Amino acid sequence: MLTFLLRRFLSAIPTLLLSSLLIFFIIQLAPGDFLTPARLNPNITPEHIAALQRNLGLDRPLPVQYWRWLTNMFQGDFGESFAYQQKVLALAWPRILNSMCLVLPYLILYYLIAIPLGVYGALRQNSLGDKTINVVMYILLGFPSFFLALLVIFGLLQLRYATGWDIPINGMTSDNYLSLSPLGKFLDIAKHVAIPALVLAVSDAAGLTRVVRGQMLEFLHADFVRTARSKGVSEFSAVYRHTLRNALVPIIAGLGGLLPAIISGAGFIEVVFAYPGITPMTLDAIASQDLFLIAGVTMLSVILLIIGNVLADILLSVVDPRIRYA
């Protein structure tokens, strides 16, 4: 196991170097730079723009900018944001924590919805329930999550009008958050997170439900399950210990992608619900070409992707006895 980890660690170095190179230069390929909007400002003179360029280091040749960024990164410094004039990590970290508060409940809901529905669909194949789930999932598959979120917000607003309940419509905390007790703070965030997490889980579960259902159907008719049944194991054991465990192997292999997913936020849902996660900040950074903020956040998710994949491989060896790392 230790040699396996060491090998993975060594192979990660060229991967990281290459991805840092790609990230930096692909961002540079986009026309214009952070100061482009300033050029359209009638109140800023070209001399002042030149001074700003000097201050931000945008006048230096690209390879020099890259080398400085790379060497700083080895010391844990992911560069400084142009817009905030602050270190990328200090800026991104609180946002990443906020995103985690949304993404973790979402992931739990996601699996809690998708796996039971998939198992149910496979066990009661072609029943009315299975068909209903199929139809609903088909519709959700073709439905962008941000649009679903907009509909939900509209619905919540009508509910608020009709009942007068104080339902949170957006944000992460209430106005009186700071004066709440620790338990009150937790409940306040839970209240705000519940709806976006559910919307995201429901709209994403459509795909996974179909995968689980397909996998279950395949393994339910496999030889080893028939053998187990003929040897007299209970139906529960045949379904959950023999079939489900095998059906989940490809899903566990995919867990490697979860770690970066946790820090890369919940995408447009965060924007629509005005949730202070990492996505709105990254989108802003992309729109304003805040070079080091985009590059820093992207590098962080590459690093986590590599760690996540190692963890997924280890998990896989636990679930699937055929896989062993020497």
Partner 1 sequence: MRKALFVALALTVGSATAAPFVLPAKWMAANPSQAKTGGEVRIYSLSDYKTLNPFTSAEADSLPDLMSDVGLGGLFTQDPSTDKFIPHMADAMPTVSNGGKRFVVKLRQGMKFSDGQPITADDFVTTFKIHTDDKVGSNSYDSFFLNGKPITLKKIDDYTLQFDFPQVSSGAYVRMAFIPWPDHVFGPVYRSKGAEGIKAMWGISADPKTIVSPGPWVISNYQPGQRAVLRKNPYFGEWNKDGAGKPLPYLDTMSIRLLKDLNAGLAAYLAGQIDTFAPSKADDLAQIKRAIDSGNLKAQLFPNVSPNATSQWIVFNWNKAADPFKQKLFRDVRFRQAMSHIANRQGMIQLALGGLGTEVYTGVYPVFKNYQFASTPKYPYNLAQASKLLAQIGFTKKNAQGYLVDRTGKVLEFNLSTNAGNTVREQLGRIFADEAKKVGVKVNFTPIDFNNLVDQLTSKGPNRPFDAILLGLSGGDNIWPYGSNVIPCGGNLHAYNVPADGKCLTPQESLMTKLYYQGDQTLDDDARRKIGEQLSKAEALNQGFVYLVGTNYHVTFNSRLGGEYDRDLWDAYNLSRPYAHLTTYIK
Draw the binding track, 100-139, toward partner 1 (x: CB under 8 A; -: no contact): ----------------------------------------
221 near partner 1, judged by CB under 8 A? no
CB atoms within 10 A of CB 210: 19
Residue 67 CB, shortest distance to partner 1, in Å, is: 22
Q: Smaller CB distance to partner 1: residue 96 or 312?
A: 96
x/- map, 151-190, partner 1, by CB under 8 A: --xx--x--xx-------xxxxx-x-xx------------
Q: How far is the CB of 197 from partner 1 (least distance, A)?
A: 17
Q: Which of 289, 292, 268, 298 is nearest to 280 (CA)?
A: 268
How far, in whole angstroms, is CA 168 from its chain's centroid?
23
The residue type found at 161 is Y
Binding residue for partner 1, selected from 98, 215, 243, 246, defined by CB under 8 A: 98
Would you say 148 or 307 has its CB closer to partner 1?
148
Helix (H) or strand (E) run with residue 94 in it: helix 88-123
Q: For residue 281, which of 57, 26, 83, 34 has the smallest C-alpha distance?
A: 83
Long-range pairs, 285-290, Cβ under 8 A, ≥24: 285/81, 285/83, 288/34, 288/37, 288/82, 288/83, 289/27, 289/30, 289/32, 289/33, 289/34, 289/36, 290/34, 290/81, 290/82, 290/83
String of contacts with partner 1 for each residue 57-96, x by CB under 8 A: --------------------------xxxx---xx--xx-
- What letter would DSSP give residue 238? I
Q: Are 148 and 195 in contact (CB under 8 A)?
A: no
Q: Which is nearer to partner 1, 42 or 142 (CB)?
A: 42
Closest approach of partner 1 to the CB of residue 55, in Å? 5
d(CA 247, CA 168): 38
Q: Judged by CB under 8 A, which of 26, 30, 141, 190 binds partner 1?
A: 30
27 Cβ contact partners less than 8 Å away, ≥ 6 residues apart? 289, 291, 294, 295
Q: Which stretch binds partner 1 (CB under 8 A): 103-111, 216-224, 236-244, 266-274?
A: 266-274
Maximum C-alpha span of the chain: 85
Smallest separation, CB 212 to partner 1 (Å): 33
Please state the closest distance from residue 286 (CB atom) to partner 1, in A. 12
3-state secondary structure at position 80? strand
Query: Which two three-digit tokens encode residue 23?
Result: 């990230």
Piece in contact with partner 1 (CB under 8 A), picked from 40-48, 59-67, 213-221, 302-310: 40-48
Chain residues binding partner 1 by CB under 8 A are 30-33, 36-37, 39-48, 51-52, 55, 83-86, 90-91, 94-95, 98, 150, 153-154, 157, 160-161, 169-173, 175, 177-178, 270-274, 276-277, 280-281, 283-284, 289
